[in-house]
Structure 1
Amino acid sequence: MKHIIIVILSLAITSLSFAQIDRSKAPVPGPAPEINIADPIVFDLDNGMKVILSTNNKIPKVSFNLVMGSDPRLEGEKAGLSDLMGDLLLSGTKNREKDQLDQEKDFIGASLFASSNSMYLSVLTKHMDKGLDLMTDVMKNANFPKAEFDRIKKQYESDLYAVKTDPNSMMSNAMYKTLFTEEHPYGEVMTEETLNNITREDVVDLYKKQYTPAGSYLVIVGDINEAEAKKVAEERFGDWEGGVPFEKEYNHGIQPKNNRVIFVEKPGAVQSVINIAFPIPMTPGDEDQIKLSVLNKLLGGGGFGTRLMQNLREDKAYTYGAYTQLNVRRQGSFMSASGNFRNEVTDSAIVQFLYEFQRITEAVPTEEELSLNKASMAGSFARRLESPRTIANFALNIHRNNLPKDYYQTYLKKLSNTSETDILEMAQKYITPNNLNIIVVGNKDVLEKLKQFDGDGEIEILDAFGNPSKEKSYLPADISKTEVLEKYLMAITGTSNMKKANKKLCKIKTIEKKAIIVPDQSPMELKMTTLYKAPNNSVTKMEFNGMVLQEEIINEDRGMSKTMSQQGGFETTHMTDDELKAELKTSAAFTEMALIKNIEDVELLGMEEIEDQTYYVLQYTFGKTTTTGYYNKTTGLKDRGTTLRVTDEGPQSISTKYSDYSKYNGYLLPNTTTQIVEAASMTSTLKEVKFNGKIDDKVFEIEESN
């Protein structure tokens, strides 16, 4: 078969070589093809559910997509409640614990997903009944176990910690808050405070209100006929009861009076994330939507031929990519343009964004660029038609959004008929180049250059969660920085004064720690071994399945790190004298022992209230690394810390939480350490600790550099 395909391709290439083609002209698109989309079968249940069926017998599988009919709710002081509820839906039911639910699902090879407003099941036709047992059990009987609620909530805490260092999350929060405000569900952003306000009872209450048959849609796709679908719908979903769906109208986006500049600081950033966004007065199925989507594609909606890519990447070389997005929703629509740019060209990039927004409102596009972009959109639409699920979703959109029955049948014709004049009209109708939200996430060094773009000359500064940024203020500390460190050392040694603490600390000659690290985004387990030998020798080694992935060695004279290369072998880096000097300033059995010796480099910022706890906040900078430690006023222990490390690739932010302190040979150590590096998080669990065991000096030897 493969040989046949190759022969056919060879013949096609040969025949093309004899054709006379004028490659100086773009190919002329043919007339829009007729689309014959079979009408799905639609029927209603007595409980208010609408069922949409699209039969396809090519594969022995069937899927059930259940979509709730309620509008989104304002959550206020409990922002994030709906997300939490959605993530907890598959945590167990009155009839099945989570493990049993997972085992039964995996046994039949089913896919089962749930969110706050939908549930989806895909299963082999022969296992349909077993799959529906699971789906309807969750739909009617989810019970949100307390243990799972606590686990997911803790996971959310780590995710929120990561937001503070992830520029894309910061940008998203700022954009939605700016476009829709907190008076709209789209503008609500979960924070540590709102998460803490959410109880299990809140989750259960929302589930009961949200998951109700009235106004809901059940989309069935696959190997099932009309009679079977009606029987399944009636038997499995017909007896489902619930209240009326929630309905509410919100603002559809706030248009600024002038260009408005919003800034979110990411300390040390070498790139700025730029997003220029504005609301669009449009709902799904609007008569202008297809024409505006063509404008979006032409301006920056994907591919290298768009205006933004040609300008900002190909011509100016400011970025690897610049894109636009048209987001049309029932409760509020918007258009945005975005990209990542070096600090030094941040203002220049904004100039070009504004230039392209202005240019598209002043003249019609060329016939060639319009034709190429329409052809790309037509091809994408045609590929989507290959999926039966797409056809069913078309029917769902028609019913939910009150679209004309032939909306999708006439899509390609409307696309083909979109003219150069239509694009100009759409631009002049929806794009106002002097009423844009210009949002920048980056280093404060670019702040002064941004003032020229604000209509009022006053830049709004937001925090990572889209709220007005407040200058961090600390309460006055009631002890000195030395006393903070001493209090910690007394706590971890279990002593009542520094004389006893020092005596116990001086007994430490070696420490060997073994831990397991599990990245939250991956099921893999990493093994980390840490060796210390007084006064300044240390080794940190990371392994996976017996392979060394990374190793760092420091002794009194030299420092080295090596990392496994993707090409095989290791990439080895030797520390400079300055880098080694900085590392040795924190080298000790416990970092705080070294900080006391270098107390002049440590600053006590004051006290801070975090999650009902009071912390002494210490900060120090050695080399290119700034570390901030949070020491619990009550226990004296270090509960959290942040590190900002400047590298050649840019700043690296690390947030750390220490918990579950336990005694090892009379010394307290955190059993669990959670680290968030940019947007990735991992949890380290101590498995073994040895004090004053024998460690061969050879492990601290460093090979000569070339």
Structure 2
Amino acid sequence: MKKLLTLVALTAITGVYGQIDRSVRPAAAAAPTINIKNSEVFKLNNGITVILSENHKLPRVSFSLTMGASPMIEGSKAGTNNLMGELLTSGTTKRSKDVLDKEVDNMGASLNANGHSIYFSCLTKHLETGLDIMQDVAMNPAFPESEFERIKKQNESGLLSAKSDPSTMASNAETKIDFPNHPLGEVMDEASLAAITLDDVKNSYKKVFTPNGSYLVIVGDITKENALKLAEKYFGAWKGSPVYKEDFGNGLKAKGNRVIFVPKPGAVQSVISITFPIEMKPGADDQIALNVMNSILGGGSFGARIMQNLREDKAYTYGAYTSFEVTRDGSWFGTSGSFRNEVTDSAITEILNEITKISDSYVTDDELNLAKSAMAGGFARSLESPQTIARFALNIIRENLAADYYQTYLKKLESVSKDDVLTVAQKYFKGGFNIVVVGNEEILPKLKAFDSDGVIEKLDAFGNPVKEMKKADITADQLIERYINTVTATKSSKELTKKMKKVKSIVKKIELSSPQIPVVISMTDVFVAPNKEAMKIEAQGMVFQSSYYDGTKGSSMNMQTGKKPLTAEELASKKKGEGLFPEVNYKTSGMTYEIKGIETINGKDYYVLTTNNGESQSFDYFDVATNLKYKTISISKQGEETVESTIVYDDYKDVNGFLFAHKLTQTAGEMSLSGTVQTIEFNGEVDKTMFE
């Protein structure tokens, strides 16, 4: 009988469905009011607001302690708060870092921190042990000197990577331009990192980490009674200074378009960002309509207008997106996309055209409905997480939102009309834009037309004004001579030739380390006079990379591609840079080279020598005061991609009458390697298998 009823029901449904005109979009159902269970909220006597979202599906509890302090301007020591956050989990007055890490691992727990919050998650059975650890980290950080130095070193490597990453370079420029004299506009660079002391880190902690105005969000398998008892037990006695509060405004909106250029020599693509700050706080009346408009314009959907125009129609890029970021400390609009050099100006024109179009005319019904449906679906999915419910409660309190803000969110979203979208587009796209471009200087002439004053501002990788190179007071050949005389301790070409004849071979053993690699790596670098060279990188008995060149042939090997012979082009480029000190042979090897000028970096002057061997372009920096090589930036093209790597040389020491750098730092993309020379052996035994 059940089968018969099912068949009848299916037939009835099919009959009704067959009468539907599928060419007409069904009318949308009325947006429901979301029944979100209110979180429990209570306050401790010392000023901590506790927010509890109970969820007993899994035997797990998480605690998020968020400070109420406003961000602070750090000036010449930008990045202090970030360092402080990284150091919070590096040990307490009760637990060393090793002990702390071991206790967290033994519980299968998670512990994370930044400059304004601490997060801890553990199984319910480890609740009190976990809270004891979290309390210890929050209230008793030790900030050990050794960890401070280690983390500074890690950040130094990160800054080297940032200087070659065009997206990071663009982001740094955006924040500096949108938010001058504002905490959001501060960017840590090499100078500010070097200036930060351990006392600065400790003072940052004292100013930011205080119970007054802070929030403890508890989510998971715990009752209100127990949450209140444990919050009081572990955090109720905490005392601190009054919470720091300051409003630094909404950023600087340009009256006309500004073009900001960040040079990236050798780049074959330009990163473009069109950005500006907006005057908006979380929960503002316009925010939902603004998000709908952004979704239609370029907010992540493949069908968004900018994506369709620049990728599908013009094939300028693989992807281009827009976003409106609304935060309590500052809000802004931004774009993101990488474009071929030859279409940089066309891409800017099309982005501006799309902004104008959405500000001048109504979006279509299909665009509006699709954007609202996607946003509603995302909102509904987010409600599956208890973390979301707790975050809603925190936002309502911190941002002073209406108590039913999230319960009525879908109704507010559904009510957004084409008129609302047009209104917010006209309101927030009014005025000038900051047009940030990171790329090769060959594109500069095409950018002037976009600046309202026809003047292009140049910023460096960290958003600081670029100081034009000073004219060099010597020639390229004179620079090379000074460098060679310094590293070989010779005064004439005759003396140099005599000294170099005594060098039959040199074998360097270098120990490499990287934050991304958990093992120590060994590198063997071999030179055999007059022009043979070989290299091998290995760890734990396994060779990861090797290469050799014997003056006529060579090969390279890595674990991804295997062993490959050097091509004719690669051999030709090797020929131009062969020898213990390749610079000696530049005049006769065919190397293209010239001195570009004098660049000032962190208060020191460096001669910049550019070379091109046909395969790659390099920029060598020589200390004006010492003549020693400070760093080399190499740019090569691999397929359609441009690959940039940087080597920084430090700690020069005399070995057998020659100066060699004993500390090396190499970065390529996000990968960073720090090397320390262990031994340098002259005229010893050479492993001949390295040349096979």
Fold-level match, TM-score > 0.5?
Answer: yes
Preserved CA contact (<8 Å) 1:517 1:526: yes
* Amino acid corresponding to residue 510 of structure 1 in structure 2: S
Aligned equivalent of 2:73: 74
Amino acid at match of 1:212: T
Offset at 1:421? 2.0
Which letter does structure 1 place at the counterpart of 2:675? S
Q: Indicate the SS of the match to 1:361.
A: helix
Cα distance in 2, alignment partners of residues 16 and 282 from structure 1? 50
Name the counterpart of 2:640.
649
Q: Map 1:468-547 to 2 at 5 A.
A: 468-473=465-470, 476=473, 480-490=478-488, 503=498, 505-543=500-538
Percentage of matched positions with identical amino acids: 48
Do residues 692 (structure 1) and 683 (structure 2) align? yes
Q: Retained in 1: the 8 A contact 2:469–2:599?
A: no
Q: Which residue of 2 aligns with 1:555?
A: 550
Aligned counterparts, 1:599-614, within 5 A: 603=594, 610-611=601-602
Distance (whole Å) between structure 1 residues aligned to residue 597 and residue 198 of structure 2:
35
Aligned residues: 679
The CA distance in 2 between the partners of 1:357 and 1:16, in whole Å, is: 46
Write the mapping of 1:382-531 to structure 2, written as runs, cut at 5 A: 382-432=380-430, 435-473=432-470, 476=473, 480-490=478-488, 503=498, 505-531=500-526
Q: Is 1:621 equivalent to 2:612 in the alignment?
A: yes
Q: Which residue of 1 aligns with 2:175?
A: 176
| 1:212 CA displacement | 0.5
Q: Which amino acid aligns with 2:534?
A: V
Distance 1:627 1:273 in 2: 21
Please list the CA deviations of residues 167-221 of structure 1 after superposition, one character each: whole Å capped at 9, or x if unmatched. 111111111111111x111111222222222211111111111100001111011
Q: Which residue of 2 aligns with 1:572?
A: 564
- Give the direction of change, closer, same or farther, for the CA distance of 1:36–1:148 in structure 2 (3 Å limit): same
Q: Given that residues 591 and 613 in structure 2 are in contact (C-alpha distance below 8 angstroms), is that contact kept between their aligned partners in structure 1?
A: no
Which structure 2 segments of 5+ residues have no match? 1-9
CA distance in structure 2 between the partners assigned to 1:528 and 1:16 by the alignment: 72
Q: Give the counterpart letter for 2:455 in structure 1.
A: E
Match of 1:89? Answer: 88
Give, as a single letter, the amino acid of the residue that structure 2 aligns with 1:252.
Answer: N
DSSP 3-state at the match of 1:352: helix
Residue 633 to residue 299, structure 1, CA distance change in 2 (3 Å): closer
Contact kept in structure 1, 2:487 and 2:659, CA below 8 Å: no
TM-score (norm 1): 0.89
Q: Does the CA contact (< 8 Å) of 1:556 and 1:584 recur in 2?
A: yes
Instruction: Please report how far the alpha carbon of residue 340 of structure 1 lies from its aligned counterpart in structure 2 after TM superposition.
Output: 0.9
Flag the 1:666–1:412 CA change in 2: closer, same or farther, 3 A.
same
What amino acid sits opposite 1:300 in the alignment?
Answer: G
Distance 1:173 1:521, change over 3 A: same
Following TM superposition, by how much is the alpha carbon of 1:91 offset from its aligned partner in structure 2, in angstroms? 1.8
SS at match of 1:245: coil
Residues 273, 304 of structure 1: CA spacing in aligned structure 2 closer, same or farther, 3 A cutoff? same
Provide the C-alpha distance between the structure 2 equivalents of 1:602 and 1:420, rounded to a whole number of angstroms. Answer: 60
List per-residue Cα deviations over 1:642-671 (Å, max 9, x = no partner): 223344434332221223456767765444
Deviation at 1:231, TM superposition (A): 0.8
C-alpha root-mean-square deviation of aligned residues, in Å? 3.0
> How many angstroms apart in 2 are the aligned matches of 1:225 and 1:304?
44
**Alpha-carbon deviation of 1:680?**
2.7
Do the aligned partners of residues 323 and 590 (structure 1) sit closer, same or farther apart at CA in structure 2, a change above 3 Å counting?
Answer: same
CA contact (8 A) 1:162 1:677 kept: yes
Query: Following the alignment from structure 1 to structure 2, what is the Cα–Cα distance between the partners of residues 69 and 264?
Result: 35
**1:527–1:18: structure 2 CA closer, same or farther, 3 Å change rule?**
farther
C-alpha displacement of 1:29: 4.1
Change (3 A) 1:323 1:200: same
Distance in 1 between residues matched to 2:672 and 2:39, nearest whole Å: 45
State how 1:573-588 maps to structure 2 within 5 Å: 574-577=566-569, 579-588=570-579
Classify the secondary structure of the residue corresponding to 1:314.
Answer: helix
Which amino acid is 2:501 matched to?
Answer: C
Residue of structure 1 equivalent to 2:7: none
Q: How far apart are the structure 2 equivalents of 1:249 and 1:391?
A: 28
Q: Which residue of 2 aligns with 1:33?
A: 32
**After superposition, where does 1:238-317 map in structure 2 within 5 Å?**
238-317=236-315
* Counterpart residue identity of residue 507, structure 1: K
SS of equivalent residue, structure 1 residue 468: coil
Name the aligned partner's letter for residue 96 of structure 1: R
Which residue identity is paired with 1:623? G
1:540 counterpart SS class: strand
Matches within 5 A, 1:193-232: 193-232=191-230
Contact in 2 for aligned 1:481/1:602 (Cα 8 Å)? no
Q: Alignment partner of 1:339: what SS? A: strand
Change in CA separation of 1:614 and 1:571 when aligned onto 2, cut-off 3 Å: same
Q: Is the 8 A contact 2:577 2:591 kept in 1?
A: no
Query: Hey, what's the Cα distance between the residues in 2 that align with 1:600 and 1:351?
Result: 40
- Classify 1:283/1:510 alpha carbon distance in 2 versus 1 (closer, same or farther; 3 Å): same
C-alpha separation in 2, matches of 1:30 and 1:451:
51
Counterpart amino acid of 1:280? I
**CA distances 1:540-571 after superposition (whole Å, capped 9, x unpaired):** 23446655544333222234334444xxx637
Match of 1:5 in 2: none
Question: Over residues 486-512 of structure 1, what are the superposed CA-to-partner deviations in whole Å (9 max), with x where a residue is unaligned?
Answer: 333335xxx898877655543332334
Contact 1:520 1:683 survives alignment (8 Å)? no
Correspondence 1:358-373 to 2 at 5 A: 358-373=356-371
Of 678-687 and 49-58, more deviation after overlay is shown by 678-687
